[in-house]
């Protein structure tokens, strides 16, 4: 059996343990060598079981004494392998989506690789959307915060060393350092407040600008795209979720890169000035092991998250499909509630079965970092105090060392987290870019070439030539098939038919909410695909049987939606006159004035 990638990482970690033992061997009494060595062996075995259970159970599984243990091991491996398949499928689907989404952007990106295009688009978006006027002041304030973070441990360490001196007094060993600490606290509070003010200002402005741009692009998309199943969770939810995720990279990339690098470099530099041997041990215990552990745990936690979504998702989807008034009424009418409950219980039992085989290792993976930090603390505490007892360091220098090591650890984790977040967003950012930059397949407002604008719309004939149509959600079912229809100017024509006969579909095709799957629609012998969509829709008026108005807009705003941009630009008084005129024609003016609390300024949601 070939060694897995995890086993190579485990071998590296074993070598790191051996190196740490070599560093501290001078401080271990002969009577404790066996204990310390056994502890290290236990840690290595624990990591092997946690990091690569497949190899462990494959080798050790047949020797386990109880059948229940062997069964648990086999189920755990099967679930993990299922998780690997789900991750691979998700990655393949994401690559395909990114390739399709970025196909039209490839010229701007300057490359044909779908992965490279995704990264390039991500980088371009960061530069385009970053709120520099707020991010830069936040970084400047953060530099002051970091400077104080490195100076405070030095002052505290000097205070510790001073107060343990035989001739120490409050005036010489305490107050000089205490005054400096109080000053640091005040300045630090001011700088942190300034930093966070600009940080959140950048966050809110990015959200406002990006969501406005995304809303404008979504509203221009063809209805077939908006009806796709992947948008079933709600376009508003998608817009908010995707802009929030992108914000974490756009406005935080520069500060995180800068301060992570500063913490890493400055931490190593500060440690070397305190105690070189302790510094070397701290770096060995920190940076390589953190990177390896994070890589090991994150890969399998992603698999488990996919398993969780699959297992719990089945139960959640069933609950969503059941818990509506219509379905509940149907179930009660047929006394079938117990059947549905049993089916739901089966789905939940499948989820519990998944948890029983995987939850313990998930918990261990989540706590591996915690365990590693605990072992590191014990080792460094023992070695540090040993050097203090041998006169090679002071209590103050040891305290300074631990504080600077924490800053080094913070820098390492910040850079690793930023990289992981970037890679995660890279694999899923296609949704953001699609909603933000996708070009509608329905030619929109003459942006794709010179569109035709008919001069005399009152003398136009309209013809449907062998038109067939099917919605993308169900492409095998034709709503219209081979329709031929000629509408002459100045004639009134009524389309009469049963429910589902295609009357509404024809009206939507005429307004180009959709395009026919076969055949053509012509206005004065010109295919309407060549006619400016904005002109076409402005000359067609349609009243659907189901009217849905934007509830957060007022009556005035809703009526004025029907006005052209040129009319709106003539001023609010002109717009109000036209709105009142339209309301009077619809015999709604008196109702609005007499029955609505705020007249034309009444929000739609307040009208019963």
Which has more pLDDT, 271 or 218?
218
Residue 425 lies in a domain: yes
Closest CA to 412 of 230, 558, 312, 263: 263
Residue 105 pLDDT = 42
Place of tokens 């959200």: 207
Residue 330 lies in a domain: no
pLDDT-derived band at 65 (thresholds 50, 70, 90) equals low
Please name the residue ranges forming H helices in 52-66: 53-60
Residue 44 pLDDT = 63
- The answer to whether residues 529 and 559 belong to one domain is no
Q: Do the beta carbons of residue 146 and residue 263 sit within 8 Å?
A: yes
Q: What percent of the chain has pLDDT over 70?
A: 70
How far, in Å, CA of 487 to CA of 473, rounded?
30
Which has more pLDDT, 107 or 605?
605
Q: Across all residues in the chain, what is the average pLDDT?
A: 76
Strand ranges for 312-461 from DSSP E: none
Residue 46 pLDDT = 63
Instruction: Tell if the pTM clears 0.85, that is, is over it.
Output: no
- The answer to whether residues 403 and 270 belong to one domain is yes
How far, in Å, CA of 373 to CA of 285, rounded?
9
Average pLDDT over residues 172-185: 85
For the chain, report the end-to-end CA distance as a whole number of angstroms: 72
- The answer to whether residues 493 and 567 belong to one domain is no
Average pLDDT over residues 298-304: 68
Residue 19 lies in a domain: no
Above 90 in pLDDT, residue 194? yes
- The answer to whether residues 175 and 240 belong to one domain is yes
Domain boundary among 376, 409, 441: 441
* CATH code of the domain covering residue 259: 1.20.1560.10
Count CB neighbours of 595 within 10 A.
12
Above 70 in pLDDT, residue 21? no
DSSP β-ladder status, 462-469 and 480-487 = antiparallel
Above 80 in pLDDT, residue 218? yes
Closest CA to 471 of 514, 442, 528: 514
- The answer to whether residues 148 and 245 belong to one domain is yes
How far, in Å, CA of 500 to CA of 510, rounded?
17
Average pLDDT over residues 34-62: 62
CB environment 572-585: b (16+ within 10 A), e (fewer):
eeebeebbbeebee
Residue 558 pLDDT = 85
Ranked by mean pLDDT, the top range of 28-42, 67-81, 118-132, 590-604 is 590-604
Beta bridge partners of 468: 518
How far, in Å, CA of 375 to CA of 373, rounded?
6
Ranked by mean pLDDT, the top range of 270-274, 387-391, 392-396, 557-561 is 557-561
Computed over its alpha carbons, how large is the radius of gyration of the chain?
34
- The answer to whether residues 520 and 575 belong to one domain is no
Above 60 in pLDDT, residue 283? yes
The CA distances from residue 184 to 35, 151, 177, 321, 598, in Å, are 44, 9, 11, 58, 56
pLDDT-derived band at 99 (thresholds 50, 70, 90) equals very low
Q: Do the beta carbons of residue 76 and residue 57 sit within 8 Å?
A: yes
* CATH code of the domain covering residue 503: 3.40.50.300
Which has more pLDDT, 190 or 366?
190
Closest CA to 601 of 567, 564, 559, 561: 559
Please name the residue ranges forming H helices in 323-336: 325-333
Q: Which two tokens stand for residue 134?
A: 């707020």
Average pLDDT over residues 169-174: 80
For residue 523, give the H/E element and its range: strand 518-523
How far, in Å, CA of 391 to CA of 402, rounded?
18
Phi-psi region of 171 (alpha: psi -120 to 50; beta: other; left: phi over 0): alpha
Q: Do the beta carbons of residue 423 and residue 119 sit within 8 Å?
A: no
Residue 220 lies in a domain: yes
Rounded to an integer, what is the distance from CA 506 to the centroid of its chain?
A: 39
Ranked by mean pLDDT, the top range of 66-80, 224-238, 273-287, 377-391 is 377-391
For 554, phi then psi, to 5°, come to -80, 170
The residues, any chain, with a CB within 8 Å of residue 486's CB and separated by 6 or more, are: 461, 462, 463, 464
Above 80 in pLDDT, residue 1? no
Above 80 in pLDDT, residue 254? yes
Residue 137 pLDDT = 92
Name the residue range of residue 504's domain: 457-538
Beta bridge partners of 469: 480
Phi-psi region of 513 (alpha: psi -120 to 50; beta: other; left: phi over 0): alpha
pLDDT-derived band at 140 (thresholds 50, 70, 90) equals very high
CB environment 155-186: b (16+ within 10 A), e (fewer):
bbbbbbbbbeeeeeeeeebeeebeebeeebee
Instruction: Write a three-state SS string for 110-168.
Output: CCCCHHHHHHHHHHHHHHHHCCHHHHHHHHHHHHHHHHHHHHHHHHHHHHHHHHCCCCC
Residue 80 lies in a domain: no
For 234, phi then psi, to 5°, come to 110, 130
Q: Do the beta carbons of residue 27 and residue 388 sit within 8 Å?
A: no
For 113, phi then psi, to 5°, come to -80, 125
Residue 468 pLDDT = 92
Residue 288 lies in a domain: no
For residue 464, give the H/E element and its range: strand 462-469
Q: What percent of the chain has pLDDT over 90?
A: 5
- The answer to whether residues 407 and 527 belong to one domain is no
pLDDT-derived band at 212 (thresholds 50, 70, 90) equals very high
Which has more pLDDT, 270 or 220?
220
What are the tens digits of pLDDT across the range 354-398? 777 666 666 666 666 677 777 777 777 777 777 777 777 788 888
Residue 371 lies in a domain: no
How far, in Å, CA of 69 to CA of 91, rounded?
33
Residue 559 pLDDT = 85
How far, in Å, CA of 279 to CA of 316, rounded?
51
- The answer to whether residues 484 and 597 belong to one domain is no
Residue 344 lies in a domain: no
- The answer to whether residues 145 and 242 belong to one domain is yes
Residue 116 pLDDT = 38
Lowest-confidence pick of 85-89, 264-268, 345-349 = 85-89
Closest CA to 399 of 149, 160, 178: 160
Above 70 in pLDDT, residue 347? yes
- The answer to whether residues 133 and 191 belong to one domain is yes
Domain boundary among 385, 411, 441: 441
How far, in Å, CA of 245 to CA of 425, rounded?
8
The residues, any chain, with a CB within 8 Å of residue 68's CB and separated by 6 or more, are: none
- The answer to whether residues 426 and 503 belong to one domain is no
Burial (CB count within 10 angstroms: exposed 0-12, middle 13-18, buried 19+), residue 292: buried
Q: Which two tokens stand for residue 80?
A: 């993990």
Domain boundary among 538, 569, 598: 538
pLDDT-derived band at 262 (thresholds 50, 70, 90) equals confident
Number of structural domains (the chain) is 3
Count CB neighbours of 52 within 10 A.
21
The residues, any chain, with a CB within 8 Å of residue 380's CB and separated by 6 or more, are: 278, 281, 282, 285, 402, 405
- The answer to whether residues 141 and 245 belong to one domain is yes
Residue 101 pLDDT = 46
Above 80 in pLDDT, residue 314? no
How far, in Å, CA of 240 to CA of 264, rounded?
34
Residue 190 pLDDT = 92
């Amino acid at each position: 059996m070939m060694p897995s990638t995890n086993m190579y990482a485990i071998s590296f970690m074993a070598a790191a343990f051996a190196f740490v033992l070599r560093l501290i061997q001078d401080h271990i009494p002969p009577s404790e060598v066996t204990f310390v060595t056994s502890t290290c062996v236990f840690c290595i075995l624990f990591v092997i079981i946690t990091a690569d259970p497949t190899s462990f159970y494959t080798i050790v599984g047949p020797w386990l004494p109880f059948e229940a243990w062997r069964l648990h091991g086999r189920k755990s491996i099967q679930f993990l392998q299922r998780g690997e398949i789900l991750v691979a499928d998700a990655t393949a689907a994401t690559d395909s989506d990114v390739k399709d989404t970025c196909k039209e952007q490839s010229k701007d990106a300057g490359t044909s690789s779908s992965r490279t295009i995704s990264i390039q688009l991500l980088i371009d978006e960061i530069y385009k959307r970053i709120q520099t006027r707020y991010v830069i002041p936040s970084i400047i304030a953060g530099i002051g915060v970091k400077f104080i973070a490195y100076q405070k441990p030095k002052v505290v360490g000097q205070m510790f060393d001073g107060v343990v001196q035989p001739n120490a007094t409050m005036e010489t060993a305490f107050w000089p350092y205490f005054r400096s600490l109080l000053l640091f606290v005040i300045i630090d509070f001011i700088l942190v407040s300034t930093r966070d003010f600009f940080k959140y200002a950048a966050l809110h402005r990015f959200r406002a600008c990006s969501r406005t741009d995304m809303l404008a692009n979504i509203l221009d998309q063809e209805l077939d795209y908006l009806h796709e199943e992947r948008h079933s969770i709600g376009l508003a939810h998608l817009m908010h979720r995707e802009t929030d995720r992108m914000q974490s990279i756009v406005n935080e990339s520069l500060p995180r890169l800068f301060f992570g690098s500063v913490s890493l470099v400055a931490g190593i530099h500060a440690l070397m000035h305190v105690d070189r041997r302790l510094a070397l041990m701290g770096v060995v215990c920190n940076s390589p092991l953190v990177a390896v552990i994070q890589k090991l745990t994150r890969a399998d936690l992603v698999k488990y998250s996919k398993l969780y979504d699959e297992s719990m998702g089945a139960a959640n989807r069933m609950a969503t499909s059941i818990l509506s008034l219509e379905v509940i009424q149907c179930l009660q009418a047929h006394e079938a509630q117990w059947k549905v409950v049993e089916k739901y219980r089966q789905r939940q039992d499948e989820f519990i079965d998944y948890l029983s085989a995987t939850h313990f290792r998930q918990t261990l993976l989540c706590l591996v970092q915690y365990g590693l930090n605990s072992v590191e603390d014990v080792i460094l505490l023992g070695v540090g105090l040993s050097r203090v007892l041998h006169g090679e360091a002071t209590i103050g220098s040891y305290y300074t060392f631990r504080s600077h090591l924490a800053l080094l650890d913070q820098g390492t984790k910040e850079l690793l987290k930023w990289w992981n977040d970037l890679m995660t967003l890279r694999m899923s950012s296609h949704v953001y870019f699609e909603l933000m930059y996708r070009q509608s397949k329905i030619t929109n407002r003459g942006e794709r070439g010179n569109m035709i604008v008919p001069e005399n719309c009152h003398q136009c004939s309209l013809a449907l030539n062998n038109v067939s149509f099917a919605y993308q959600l169900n492409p095998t079912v034709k709503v219209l098939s081979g329709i031929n229809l000629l509408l002459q100017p100045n004639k009134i024509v009524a389309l009469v038919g049963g429910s589902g006969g295609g009357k509404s579909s024809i009206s939507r095709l005429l307004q180009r909410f959709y395009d026919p799957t076969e055949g053509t629609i012509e206005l004065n012998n010109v295919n309407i695909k060549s006619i400016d969509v904005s002109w076409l829709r402005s000359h067609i008026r349609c009243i659907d049987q189901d009217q849905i108005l934007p509830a957060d807009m007022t009556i005035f705003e809703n009526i004025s939606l029907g006005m052209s941009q040129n009319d709106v630009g003539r001023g609010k008084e002109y717009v109000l006159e036209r709105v009142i005129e339209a309301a009077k024609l619809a015999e709604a003016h008196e109702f609005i004035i007499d029955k609505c609390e705020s007249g034309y300024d009444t929000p739609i949601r307040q009208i019963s």
